[in-house]
Amino acid sequence: MKRVAAASLIGTVIEFYDFGIYGTAAALVFPAIFFPALGEAAGTIASFAALGVAFVARPFGSILFGHFGDRLGRKRTLIATMLLMGLSTVLVGLMPTAARIGVLAPILVIALRVMQGLAAGGEFAGAVLFSSENAPKGRRGFWSMMPSLGGGGAIILANLTFFLTAVFMSPANFASWGWRIPFLCSIVLVAFGLWVRLRTEETPVFKKYIARSGASRVPFLEAFRHQPRQILLATGTIMMVFALTYIGGTYLVSYGTAILKLSRPYVLGIAILGGVAISIGVIVGGTLSDRIGRRWVIVATACVAVVWALALFPILDLRSHAAFAVGLPVTMFISGVATGPVGAFLSELFPTRYRYTAAGVSYSLAGMLGGGLPPLVAASIIAAYGSFTFGVILSCVCLISLVCVLVIGETRHLDLEQRRMADAPY
């Protein structure tokens, strides 16, 4: 399990480092270098729209890679997602700016962002299944949190690289070429990740099922034929996780520098603490889920999140360093606790025959609705109606997740090898 967990954790660190550095760059430099003709406000909106394109692509990536993951295996599919993510990230780092190639620059960047979205759509579900299908039943929550913990590590690593470039470079050099360094460094991480994943074996649950029953011909169609309600409820449940993570980890970086006028190194330093906070939260949530159940951990966190979303922007708008140092990390910690049980929850909700596809689609749809839309609309809503109004919207997203997780049943007791398509958990 230690080797399996290491492969899942390291893989998602690398995948979501690649995915996450785009969000940080979108907040800090992309409006000026890829969307300069739109002006500062519209350029920021366009930059986050390009960020959101990947969330639209993620469900398609889940269908594509889920198809092969359910037919050919988890291991080979995860290698493919890592290669696609690594290639697209390095190419973003090599991309000429709008000043050199004009409108072609943002078009190409958006195309590469779509590739990142496709890869991310296939990554998380596969990494989660790689852990959960190897884990003992009573510790499935703990071991299945490893991919989510890798996501927290990616947030730390992504912000740390931008923090170091901000500290050791002038703003002009950072805007000119320094922002490229985190993207180009990805090639080293991907090479290491591939080495780790090539040394692991296929999961025993998948191998036993294929030997006994054979693979599904079209996993996507089977998933929606047999468990459409579970897919939709799982999507609603996880929306809160994405909303809090991408508001806290991406949008607040832009809010802190552009609106609150805090220094870039300070904001990035607090964002690193946010990565630590979400990682601690993941460990707490995943461990507790083995003791009290997946559903009740998410229910308790959602109740806290509904209230916190209303308090977040009034706290931030105190415009002090201390307020920002509280607002961002607390948001990320709450998100982490809710994220901890998600890996086991999704694995247990669907049968082996189409588990990769159904878990991936649920997760990616939640990412599109919860992670793609809120950062995209935040700037315009705050500009027009004030920050508290956006806090109300964020609170409503958390309330939707609370309702969905109350409707859906507990999954902790289920045996992954015994799951049949008719085994709805409620």
Q: Give the separation between CA 51 and CA 61, rounded to whole angstroms.
A: 16
Q: Which of 185, 288, 14 is nearest to 6 (CA)?
A: 14
Return the DSSP state at 354. Answer: G
The reply to whether 25 falls in a domain is yes
What three-state secondary structure class fits 59?
Answer: helix
Q: Which of 286, 402, 410, 274 is nearest to 340 (CA)?
A: 286
The reply to whether 136 falls in a domain is yes
Predicted pLDDT of residue 418: 60
Q: Give the separation between CA 52 and CA 278, rounded to whole angstroms.
A: 21
CB 224 within 8 A of CB 348: no
| Domain that residue 193 falls in | 2-418
The reply to whether 213 falls in a domain is yes
The reply to whether 219 falls in a domain is yes
- The residues, any chain, with a CB within 8 Å of residue 118's CB and separated by 6 or more, are 57, 58, 60, 61, 64, 65, 84
Structure tokens of 356? 């990769």
CATH code (residue 393)? 1.20.1250.20
Predicted pLDDT of residue 419: 52
- From residue 194, alpha-carbon distances to 3, 82, 200, 372 in Å are 14, 7, 10, 28
CB 89 within 8 A of CB 18: yes
Q: Give the separation between CA 400 and CA 302, rounded to whole angstroms.
A: 9
Structure tokens of 4? 């399996």
The reply to whether 16 falls in a domain is yes
Give start and end residues of each alpha helix (H) in 185-293. 186-198, 204-213, 219-226, 228-246, 252-254, 264-292
What three-state secondary structure class fits 206?
Answer: helix
Q: Which of 7, 3, 126, 132 is nearest to 419 (CA)?
A: 132
Instruction: Kindly give the interhelix angle for 146-168 and 342-349, rounded to the nearest 10 degrees.
Output: 140
Q: pLDDT tens digits, residue range 167-214?
A: 888 888 887 888 888 889 888 878 888 888 888 888 888 898 888 888
Q: How many independent structural domains does the chain possess?
A: 1
Predicted pLDDT of residue 116: 87
- From residue 103, alpha-carbon distances to 44, 99, 121, 143, 377 in Å are 16, 9, 28, 46, 23
The reply to whether 426 falls in a domain is no
CB 360 within 8 A of CB 66: yes
CB 14 within 8 A of CB 158: no
Q: Structure pTM?
A: 0.85
| Tokens 């430099």, residue located | 29
What three-state secondary structure class fits 423?
Answer: coil
Widest pairwise Cα distance in the chain? 61
- From residue 392, alpha-carbon distances to 1, 244, 335, 361 in Å are 42, 13, 17, 27
The reply to whether 423 falls in a domain is no
Stretches where the chain sits below pLDDT 70 are 19, 40-41, 418-426
Which amino acid makes up residue 21?
I
Predicted pLDDT of residue 327: 96
Q: Radius of gyration over alpha carbons of the chain, in Å?
A: 20
CB 205 within 8 A of CB 133: yes
Q: Give the separation between CA 165 and CA 99, rounded to whole angstroms.
A: 22
The reply to whether 395 falls in a domain is yes
Predicted pLDDT of residue 46: 78
Instruction: Kindly give the interhelix angle for 2-28 and 146-168, rounded to the nearest 10 degrees.
Output: 40
Predicted pLDDT of residue 425: 44
Q: What is the dihedral of CA 109, 82, 139, 199, to 10 degrees?
A: -160
Q: pLDDT tens digits, residue range 5-45?
A: 877 887 788 777 876 787 778 777 888 888 887 776 677 77
CB 353 within 8 A of CB 216: yes
